Structure 1
Amino acid sequence: MDPAGGCPHARNARLRERGAVAPVVLPGDVPGMLVLGHDALREFLAHPDVAKDARHFTALAEDRIPPGWPLRTFATVRGMTTADGDDHRRLRSLVSRAFTIRRVEGLRPRIEALVDELLDGVARQAAVDGVVELRSRFALPLPMRVICELFGVGEEFRDRLHHLSSQVVSTDTTPQEALAANKEMVAVLAQVAAARAKEPGDDLTSALIAAREEDGDRLSQEELIGTLILFVIAGHETTLNLITNAVRALCGHRDQLALVRAGSATWMDVVEETLRWDSPVSYFPFRYPTRDLTVDGTVIPQGTPVLAGYSAAGRDPAAHGPDADRFDLTRRAASRHLSLGHGAHYCLGAPLARLEATVALERLFTRFPDLDLAVPDEELPAHAGFVGNSVRRLPVRPGPDAREG
């Protein structure tokens, strides 16, 4: 696996020709496996003999993984993403009620207000030189502000947390950088937790702390910080990539944008097809077979760290047809994608990500109907690392503001 990342789709196509499961070499010459076929990945994600707890990671248990390994946080952070069985259900239940479809829908007015506020900023910048860096000015601040408001993270922490999140999920950092980023992120979120413990508010961090105090066995300090790490990173990085990738897809497929405007497709269709066609996550770490496991004819040895190949599964012709590489909003099978996971660890924040993305895209293209990329898509710099899948910059020409017309 190239730690520098880059667009995964050509590599995925080559790997899929060899099979639905592939051996890979992770950074630091750590052997692993990648599941990239749709059906194989669906089976693997829900298999009863596949675990998330790193005690099943043989190389880690044998102390063969150095402290500064860039992917170590994915294995060792304490929280829902590294818990199994009753432990996983306990941790998930503490926050799941905040992410029901009904609760998330109650956030719509606030999300709409934030989108309009950010679009006002886009309009002001466009009036200056005609070009706006949409990723940093729109696609990033929306999910970052929403998740931080949900968890009571003060504005003074947000820019730093985004920077640290980017380093934590990157796969091309040095051991020193990885250790420093993880240490600082824990420290910053410990400050957030301490502030909420001192002055509780109507936020999830305060609720988690209250639950711990009511029953000391329910949530340890380490699990609290691990939960905050999970939601701060996953709560904005994936939605940031989703919005970015959807804008690129629509700008590159004006015929599909025309379908939405004609009422032949919906903004939710845009979100679902983007999730399939250009998943916000390429290869997500880790799961571990608790015994030697045969998946689609390939043996994955017990204790092997396995990557979930979401970007590869999304374009698997066996699941999505011979035109799987085509962005098509009329593809009703798009809802079969696995980009938000499958099984017990299905993405808890899926309703929120979908709401943020649909509101953002509808209002963006309604207000700026002529919006287009300022440079060819192939010239956009790819996301650093192989976990996230997107580009680092998104310069656009918004064109006339419909509100001014």
Structure 2
Amino acid sequence: MTTTPAPIGCPYRLDLKGADLQGEAAALRALGPATRVLLPGDVPAWSVTDPGLIQRLLVHHGISKDAHRHWPPYINGEIPGTWALSTWVGVVNALTAYGAEHDRLRRPLQAAFSPRRVRALIPQIEAIPHSLLDDLQAAGPDQVVDLRANFAWLLPLRVASLVLGVPEELHDPFREVIGALFATNLPPEEAEAAPARVYSLITRLIDTKRREPGDDVTSLLIDEHASGELTERELADSLLLLISAGHETTVNLLDHGITNLATHPAQLALATRGEIRWEQVVEETLRHQAPIASVPLRFAVHEIVDEPTGLTFAPGDALVINYMAAGRAPDRHPHNADAFDVTRDTARDHLAFGHGPHLCVGAELARIEGRIAFAALFDRFPTLRLAAPGDLESLESFISNGHTHLPAILGPARLAQPPTS
């Protein structure tokens, strides 16, 4: 059960373990549309929780994601390389760029994830969950299986490998290191080592695709580098963005969707009977449990006065956008915002994929994966249930909203047949 902790002073010290993200989001929301918080290392910031304020800030020309240009503590060397969030602010890609630089770095990603390219992948994506479910079915109907490790994690990884052209021998290595990038409670030496391991794999991926190019996003970005549009670092950091953030979002979408559907059988029945489209299930899951709870960091380029709230952000102020808190804002979802309800009229009114110039380029791909995965899983295992629904352990992160494990008992399997998504 989610509980709301008592306010713990101003600024509010975020729980680096992310033990109760929803409770913390509710507490922060109660303190106003944005409130002062402390990040790892007691770095001060604002946590922005009100969806209206979030939308205004994310399209404001005076809000940047470029720490190299607009965050004085970073520019002045006050933020060490061992800081838990250093990778999030130090990379040079579309996630952190500002203005014309953002447009330049985002352009090839938008082309790579155009609706036409993404929809063309649907037949290949549809085959992936059936292969994973065949493996799970071999465990037997009464055995406990970890659906996060063996389904929610693997499906997006294989889709990412398909899209990016990642060779088979790098699948498991990437799987082992991605999670550490989202942990916000690591000791300094581990926080510093995690990106180094990922970059080593990215270098191997780039070297492989330079020797053996294909019709994939990595090859496309390598061509951008060859033509002078991307530097070597921008090439590597763009791949880091796609491999890590894109993957983690979809993993947590599947994780929470499975959890909610397995524990709300009446709502699951609406979807399996076709009374509610799987698309609606995906949107309510994104609203109810934003896969990325909070995204660091944005910076005020100059003083910003938000007239509707009366808040003033000073030049250089750091902002964390709390998408989890926004998803359950009572003014956006007046009918029991904390409840999972696939019939909700406002299910699509969420910001789980961001808003404005930095809207996630892979949002449509993630939605397609969710629809295909939920339909395939519950068509094959209609009586699936969680083995310990009240005892799921959260990831140690205030960024990534998921579980360490998702133990489930599959029950008898139906004959495999491709479901409609």
Which range, TM-score by smaller chain?
Answer: over 0.9
Q: How does 1:50-61 map to 2 (within 5 A)?
A: 50-54=63-67, 55-61=69-75
The Cα offsets for residues 161-183 of structure 1, whole Å up to 9 and x where unpaired, read as 22222111111111111111111
Alignment match of 1:257 (pick from 261, 265, 268): 268
Q: 1:399 aligns with which of 377, 399, 411?
A: 411
Tell me which amino acid in the other structure corresponds to 2:110.
S
Q: CA deviation at 1:362?
A: 0.5
The one of 83, 107, 118 aligned to 2:97: 83
String of CA shifts for 1:54-81, please: whole Å, max 9, x gaps: 1211211121111100101110111000
The answer to whether the aligner puts 1:162 opposite 2:165 as a matched pair is: no
The match for 2:402 among 383, 390, 395 is 390
Post-superposition offset of 1:258: 1.9
Could you tell me which amino acid in structure 2 is paired with residue 238 of structure 1? T
Q: What is the alpha-carbon distance in structure 2 between the residues aligned to residue 23 and residue 126 of structure 1?
A: 50
Residue 222 (structure 1) aligns with: 233
Deviations 1:90-110 (A, max 9, x none): 111112122122221111111
1:298 aligned to which of 311, 326, 334: 311
**Alignment-derived partner of residue 80 in structure 2:** 66
Tell me the distance in 2 between the aligned counterparts of 1:43 and 1:282.
Answer: 19
TM-score (norm 1): 0.96
Aligned alpha-carbon RMSD (Å): 1.5
Partner in structure 2 of residue 364 of structure 1: 377
Distance in 2 separating the partners of 1:119 and 1:109: 17
Q: Deviations over 1:282-321 (max 9, x none)?
A: 1111111111223422222221221110110000001111
Name the SS of the counterpart of 2:104 in structure 1: helix
Alignment partner of 1:323 is 2:336:
yes
Look up the equivalent residue of 1:272 and give its one-letter code.
E
Tell me, what secondary structure is at the counterpart of 2:346?
helix
How many Å apart are 1:126 and its aligned residue? 3.0
Structure 2 match to 1:282? 293
Letter of the 1:111 counterpart: I
User: For structure 2, which runs of at least 5 residues remain unmatched after alignment?
Assistant: 1-13
The match for 1:41 is 54
Q: Which residue of 2 aligns with 1:210?
A: 223
1:163-211 Cα shifts (integer Å, max 9, x gaps) = 2221111111111111111112112211111111122222211121122
Partners of 1:126 and 1:397 within 8 A in 2: no
Hey, what's the Cα distance between the residues in 2 that align with 1:58 and 1:165?
29
Residue identity opposite 2:244 in structure 1: I
TM value normalised by structure 2: 0.92
Q: Secondary structure at the match of 1:299?
A: strand
Q: Does the aligned pair in 2 maintain the 1:39–1:319 contact within 8 Å? A: no
1:135 aligns with 2:148: yes
Partner of residue 249 from structure 2, selected from 222, 235, 238: 238
For the residue of structure 2 that corresponds to 1:125, the secondary structure is coil
Unaligned residue ranges in structure 1 (runs of 5+)? none
Report the alpha carbon displacement of residue 404 of structure 1 after superposing the two structures with TM.
Answer: 8.0
8 A contact 1:7–1:389 mirrored in 2: no
Q: Is the CA contact (8 Å cut-off) linking 2:130 and 2:416 kept in structure 1? A: no
Given that 1:144 and 1:235 are in contact with CA atoms closer than 8 Å, whether structure 2 keeps it comes out as: no
SS in 2 for 1:306: strand
What letter is aligned with 1:265? I
Q: Equivalent pairs: percent with the same residue?
A: 39
Amino acid at match of 2:160: I
Tell me which residue corresponds to 1:108: 122
Cα distance in structure 1, aligned partners of 2:305 and 2:394? 34
Match in the other structure for 1:3? 16
Larger mean Cα displacement after TM superposition, 313-322 or 298-307: 298-307
Report what 1:272 is aligned to.
283
Deviation, structure 1 residue 322: 4.4
Distance 1:122 1:151 in 2: 26
CA distance in 2, matches of 1:375, 1:160: 29
**Preserved contact between residue 94 and residue 208 of structure 1 (Cα < 8 Å):** yes
Bigger relative contact order (CA 8 A; separation at least 6) = 1
| Partner residue, 2:204 | 191
Number of aligned pairs?
Answer: 401
Matched residues in 2 for 1:404 and 1:328: separation? 28
Q: Following TM superposition, by how much is the alpha carbon of 1:344 offset from its aligned partner in structure 2, in angstroms?
A: 0.4
Which one has the bigger helix percentage? 1
